[in-house]
Amino acid sequence: MKQSEFKKRRQALMKQIGQGNIAIVASADALIRNRDVHYRFRQDSDFFYLTGFNEADALAVFIPGRKQGEYVLFCREFDPTKAIWEGAHAGLEGAIRDFAADDAFPIDDLDEILPGMLENKGKVFYPMGKNSDLDHKLLDWINHIRKQSRSGVTAPGELVSLEHIVHEMRLFKSAEEIKLMRRAADISAQAHMRAMQFCQPGVYEYQVEAELLQVMMQQGLREVAYPSIVAAGKNACVLHYTENNDKLRKGDLLLIDAGAECECYAADITRTFPVSGKFSEPQRLLYQLVLDAQQAALAEIAPGVPWNKAHEASVVVLTKGLVELGLLKGRVNKLIKDEKYKQFYMHRIGHWLGMDVHDVGDYKIKDEWRLLEPGMVLTVEPGLYVAADCETVDKQWRGIGIRIEDDVLVTADGHEILTAAVPKTVDAIEALMRRT
Ligand code: GLY
Ligand code: MN
Ligand code: MN
């Protein structure tokens, strides 16, 4: 991502903060995995969105109209020994030279410098409740300024949620962002196709996971956007199954929910296909029903359509189909009203997608479902999950879990499916699996 993109975002933020106010955003912490080993670092999405700065121990301050510079970055000072052991880090000079900060200070001096920046400001835009250490510090700094009121300084009078502004910005993807999301989607699509071709009875779920990662990593995407779900047979009925240690059996379906991350932008794809390469009759019937529900939901993705329409469309198709196949009994309208379908379809149709897999942005505005607008990206992912011990349905349906998930960009005249490359009709899946 170009620096100019981050700059544009900061300028847009600055405008919304307004002169006389201040905003503060902290980086993610480096997290310990065990003893002296860290997890691979993943920057806080809001912080990265505004700075492009990929280090821990950093804090960005935005002060519209500040004469010495509006964008201040606190970060670690350059340490040559650290550079030898751990590699590059920007330091104060790098923060200014490479990340376009107007001013940079050592993070160790935060306590001395930041309180002065808060003096005589009206509002502090800040993500309260995300980092309790910083929450306490901020309140201490503000209280400290209050005590100095007799010397003429005033303390900020209002703490305002910064997330509300930043998350609304993040909901609408720019051309640059869509480029990265396309790359995440394309490579994840290739990974899913590879998994379909690799899959056969007797291999283990983790071996399929390894194939997915191999395709992603070979192309430079080292991070998955969330832990991959590779769930054979009844494991697919556990919505967030990540053990991935079971053997694939001949008559089972395999559900894979996996997506790569590209420069902090996620893909999120699910496909479900037969381990042996051919759907059994009950599997095919339920699969086709989920696919029909997905098509009905996708038909509702266009500008001006309320967010919930796609979900409602999927509920109607699934409930009707479940009645036709005999898994539910009763009148469709009543079953929908009583939410009886939730026994088999217990999640919603999807979510916003972006830097976080379950991305930020409000789904409702003033209690009304929000209308879709161009530039939004969301998932469309209906599913059916019949528990292995579900005694209310015929045995042939039990232990089948199916989800079909695509990533969809809302465009000016409808939508574009970013993950359309992965086959999803029964015929196309069976054809791809024959070509191994
Ligand atoms: N992979 C998480 C989800 O589909 O929501
Ligand atoms: Mn999803
Ligand atoms: Mn998913």
Are 396 and 282 a contacting pair, CB within 8 Å?
Answer: yes
Could you give the residue ranges of the DSSP H alpha helices within 273-343? 281-298, 308-325, 332-337
Q: How far is CA 251 from the centre of its chain?
A: 33
Residue ranges with CB less than 5 Å from ion ligand 2: 268, 379
Q: How many residues does the chain have?
A: 436
Q: Which of 403, 406, 407, 415 is catalytic?
A: 403
Beta bridge partners of 365: 368
Look at the block and give the residue holding tokens 């993610």. 28
Could you give the residue ranges of the DSSP H alpha helices within 80-222? 80-86, 91-97, 110-118, 132-147, 162-171, 175-198, 205-218
Q: Which residues of the chain have pLDDT under 50?
A: none
Are 329 and 238 a contacting pair, CB within 8 Å?
Answer: no
Other Cβ atoms within 10 Å of 356 Cβ, number: 19
Residue range(s) in the chain whose domain bears CATH number 3.40.350.10: 3-169
- Mutation to probe ligand 1, out of 188, 405, 408, 419 (largest number of atoms < 8 A from CB): 405
Write the residue with the smallest CA distance to atom 4 of ligand 1: 268
List the one residue out of 259, 431, 212 whose CA is nearest residue 355: 259
| DSSP secondary structure, 40-68, as one string | PP---HHHHHHH----SS-EEEE-TT-TT
Residue range(s) in the chain whose domain bears CATH number 3.90.230.10: 172-434
Round to the nearest angstrom and report the end-to-end CA distance of the chain: 37
What is the reported pLDDT for 435? 76
Pocket of ligand 1 (CB under 6 A): 226, 257, 268, 351, 357, 381, 405
What is the reported pLDDT for 436? 64
Number of helices (H) and strands (E), helices first, in the chain? 13, 21
Beta bridge partners of 364: 369
Q: Which atom number of ligand 1 is nearest to the Cα of residue 225? A: 1
Tell me, yes or no, if 348 is annotated catalytic: no
DSSP state of 340: G
Q: Which of 33, 35, 150, 240 is catalytic?
A: 240
Q: Which of 351, 356, 359, 415 is catalytic?
A: 351
* Separation CA 42–CA 54 (nearest Å): 8
Q: Which CATH fold would you assign to the domain 172-434?
A: Creatine Amidinohydrolase (3.90.230)
Tell me, yes or no, if 403 is annotated catalytic: yes
* Separation CA 35–CA 144 (nearest Å): 37
Question: Can you state the angle between helices 175-198 and 205-218, rounded to 10 degrees?
Answer: 140
Other Cβ atoms within 10 Å of 188 Cβ, number: 30
Tell me, yes or no, if 268 is annotated catalytic: yes
Find the angle CA(358)-CA(360)-CA(361) to the nearest 5 degrees.
Answer: 130
Q: Which of 46, 103, 405, 406 is catalytic?
A: 405
The contacts of residue 220 (CB under 8 Å, 6+ apart) are: none
CA of 214 to the centre of ligand 3 (A): 19
Q: Which atom number of ligand 1 is nearest to the Cα of residue 347? A: 5
List the one residue out of 65, 64, 68 whose CA is nearest residue 14: 64
Question: Can you state the angle between helices 110-118 and 132-147, rounded to 10 degrees?
Answer: 60
φ and ψ at residue 280, rounded to 5 degrees: -75, 170
Are 407 and 353 a contacting pair, CB within 8 Å?
Answer: yes
* Separation CA 153–CA 147 (nearest Å): 9
Tell me, yes or no, if 77 is annotated catalytic: no
CA of 329 to the centre of ligand 2 (A): 29
CA of 403 to the centre of ligand 1 (A): 10
Tell me, yes or no, if 394 is annotated catalytic: no
Look at the block and give the residue holding tokens 């998932």. 379
Q: Which of 194, 284, 358, 398 is catalytic?
A: 358
List the one residue out of 309, 332, 283 whose CA is nearest residue 430: 283
Side chain identity, residue 155: A
Domain 3-169 classified CATH 3.40.50.300?
no
CA of 37 to the centre of ligand 1 (A): 28
List the one residue out of 373, 374, 347 whose CA is nearest residue 358: 347
Are 415 and 298 a contacting pair, CB within 8 Å?
Answer: yes
| DSSP secondary structure, 392-403, as one string | TS-GGGTT-EEE
- Mutation to probe ligand 1, out of 351, 356, 406, 408 (largest number of atoms < 8 A from CB): 351
